[in-house]
A and B are shown apart, each in its own frame.
Chain A
Amino acid sequence: MNLSKKANANSAASGLSLDRARDAWADAPGWARWSVYLLLVIGALLLPNQTIGSFMAPSSTDWASMLSDQIAIYVLLALGLNVVVGMAGLLDLGYVAFYAVGGYTIAIFASKHGWSFWETLVLAIVFSALAGVILGAPTLRLRGDYLAIVTLGFGEIVRVTAQNSSYVNGPRGIQGIPHPPTLSEFEIMGVQPLKYGLLDSRPYYYLLLFFIILTIIFVKRLDRSRVGRAWAAIREDEDAAELMGVPTFKFKLAAFAIGAAIGGSGGVVFAGKQTSINPDNFTFLVSALILAGVVLGGSGNIPGVMLGAFVVAWLPERFRFMQDYRMLIFGAALVLMMIFRPEGLWPSRRRKAELAEGTGGMGSMGAEVAGPGQAAAAGEVGK
């Protein structure tokens, strides 16, 4: 009891400081916000710089490729998963499946049928959205942890199918996926940002950055629309949402499809950069890490989710010099986070209120099991 009180006080105190920043941000005039956005974009463009890299990736690992292969991909995937988990409140443990659908779409159509990168990108987005609908239509009648189990199974089905299908070379995977075609040879500050080759990772990072920015704009607009309100209602109380006239099933399906499409686009860039993929790229661990990023950062809050994904992608790489201990430390860091900041590093205000209530989103996960607080309350009534 004492312990939990302390933790509460702790989080309340740190929450206060965030609140002040939030108020300032909410009251800031438009030009101030836009200049902050602009600065953030410039910062993101300068991120692959070696000076930053020497701190972020001191051991021999190449900072630019760490950014493109790990961090930017994870941030993009986390933004996609955030639509499903953070906004609509559906726990998806098989998100990697959509990433795989995107990757395999480009692998098959580009290497076997000679489609170009951009054509396959569109196709992959359509296919993964379709996969989202195919998974969602029968399963979205389930709630909370049941949905989580089914999605977990779906993620494994996709991977195991790829592993056992000779059409995609089983466990050996598909090689010879073409890089995206070079758009322009122009050079700025020693980088050719639109020339996609083998040696320089930075153009891929910029490509992902472009996708990330597009996704943020898209998702933010959705969040403020009727769709966003419907998702918030579904996340907080699905039955009540239906009673308000929200077509809950339709909106849940839409969340699945949109999240899947974003994940699929990540898979395309990944495959286009690596030039080869195999089923081992799409293990459950990827789903788990991305979900960890979403929850760790602050499910539902876009900057929080990006921060969480960054931490999840970067920490294990940064501490690679500790060899096998790094995973131990990473795990311990996650546990500590959940003790001291259960709502995530950078939660939205609304999410904090939902968590305080103990419902909403993944709060009760659909199972109505009395927590210690409720049991105590029931005890008092009994007296």
Chain B
Amino acid sequence: MLLEIEDIHVHYGKIAALKGITASVDQGEIVTLIGANGAGKTTTLKTISGLRSLTSGAIRFDGGDISSMAGHKRVLVGIGQAPEGRGIFPGMTVEENLLMGAYARKDDPSKELAEAYELFPRLAERKSQAGGTMSGGEQQMLAIGRALMAKPKVLLLDEPSMGLAPMLVQQIFTIIQEINRRGTTVLLVEQNAQQALQIAHRAYVLETGRVVKTAPAGDLLDDPEVRAAYLGGDLGDGEASAKGGKGSSGSEAAPRATRPDAPSSDDAG
């Protein structure tokens, strides 16, 4: 296992955010954590990357215990994160943002820079634009590209689809698959469960700080409970969409523009 978290508990003051989460990510996988608001997905990621400290439990990465390692040192062992809300440095240009991603590295980052521009041609067009003036989708690309600059072994993505138009969500998810194919392990936190389950190999379902279910992603797409809770339930074409999604997982992401994306409570309103 590349990354293992074992029974971690995390508190915000006296409030327990994580009440014993155990999960693991193997080399080369895409693993997703899904769950509603407040389930502890983001906290789990922040704990892995060192922004939050553990109350108890252990995090092991690449064979070593990193439970009490400072956040900035975890970058060096190979954990890269695109944080929630993207965390772009608004006053820096696109290129400066990307180079910040390689801050901890001592060697020349030009190869990774070229790779980031190749992966996101959009960023290459906007090299000298200030990060804060870019659109949400571009910022998300920048956040992912920046995290890759440190050559991470595992890439933690915190809701890459948040606030993006369906077309862009599609594009971002295709790129995540591409990143994975090139050898980076991905741990993906998503509210957009439909999309996340379609590209992931395995998934954990989180509820109020606990793992309530874990299974291969394809199985969860069919799981009636999960569908009821996170995939909008059986609303007419929901079933068809779920099956279609399952078929396409693993292969090239099929164009899904004709289908409603991620039926969620928003659609009902």
Contacts and interface: CB of A to CB of B under 8 A. Distances in A.
A247 B81 contact: no
Contacts of B132: 353-354, 356-357, 359-360
B103 interface: yes
Interface residues of B, number: 32
Contact of B89 (A232, A245, A351, A381): A232
B100 interface: yes
Contact of B103 (A229, A350, A356): A229
Contacts of B30: none
Given A236-B91, A354-B132, A243 B75 contact: yes
B76 interface: yes
Contact of A359 (B83, B90, B105, B147): B90
A244 B146 contact: yes
A237 interface: yes
A233 interface: yes
Interface in B92-118: 92, 100-101, 103-105
Given A229-B103, A230-B103, A233-B100, A240 B90 contact: no
Contacts of B213: none
B49 interface: yes
Interface string B61-96: 000000000111101100011010001111110000
A245 B87 contact: no
Contacts of A351: 91
Interface in A209-241: 226, 229-230, 232-233, 236-237, 239-241
A113 to B, nearest CB: 41
A232 B92 contact: yes
Contacts of B75: 243-245
Nearest to A351: B91
B90 A356 contact: yes
A19 interface: no
Interface in A233-267: 233, 236-237, 239-248
A240 B104 contact: no
Contact of A360 (B73, B90, B133): B90
A246 B103 contact: yes
Contact of A245 (B51, B90, B103, B131): B103
Contacts of A226: 103
A240 B103 contact: no
Contacts of A229: 100, 103
Contacts of B150: 244-245
B49 A243 contact: yes
Contacts of B266: 381
Interface of A: 226, 229-230, 232-233, 236-237, 239-248, 350-351, 353-354, 356-357, 359-360, 381-382
Given A240-B87, A356-B132, 8 more contacts: A230-B103, A232-B89, A242-B50, A243-B75, A244-B75, A245-B75, A350-B92, A353-B90
23 contacts: A226-B103, A232-B91, A232-B92, A240-B83, A240-B87, A240-B89, A242-B71, A243-B49, A243-B75, A243-B147, A244-B72, A244-B101, A245-B104, A246-B72, A248-B72, A353-B91, A353-B130, A353-B132, A353-B133, A354-B91, A354-B132, A356-B133, A357-B90
